[in-house]
Amino acid sequence: AQSVTQPDAQVLVSEGAHLELKCNYSSSGTTYVFWYVQYPNQGLQLLLKYISGDTLVKGINGFEAEFKKSETSFHLRKSPALGSDAAKYFCAE
């Protein structure tokens, strides 16, 4: 079975600062990893996904994530962060 771990339950970021949300995945074979966002009073929205190819993935709203197979990580980041980025973020495999 595949699984992901988000070690930071909550991240507080100041507007204008660098935002990074960590995600580690378990699969050692073919891996597909996704980041979703849920803004207040809204449903889940796909931010970005890694399926294959370029390991640096650009998403919507200025977000990006780098797929690092050697570290089994797919950390989400944005710089600078905006006040409107306040939301729940979910990593999935």
pLDDT (0 to 100) of residue 12: 80
Report the alpha-carbon distance of residue 40 to residue 56 in Å, rounded. Answer: 28
What pLDDT sits at residue 31?
82
Query: Given a cut of 60, is residue 1 above it in pLDDT?
Result: no
Give the Cβ contact number of residue 32 at 10 Å.
13
Query: pLDDT (tens digit, 9 = 90+) per residue, 31-89?
Result: 899 999 999 999 999 999 999 888 999 999 999 999 998 899 999 999 999 999 999 99
Q: Which residue has the tokens 């949300």?
A: 21
Distance (Å, whole) CA 86 – CA 30: 32
What does the pLDDT read at residue 80? 94
pLDDT (tens digit, 9 = 90+) per residue, 4-45?
888 877 788 888 999 999 999 987 677 899 999 999 999 999
Q: 0.75 exceeded by the pTM?
A: yes
Question: For position 74, what pLDDT does the model report?
Answer: 95
Neighbours of 9 (CB within 10 A): 5
Please report the domains of the chain, with CATH numbers, ordered by start residue: 2-92 (2.60.40.10)
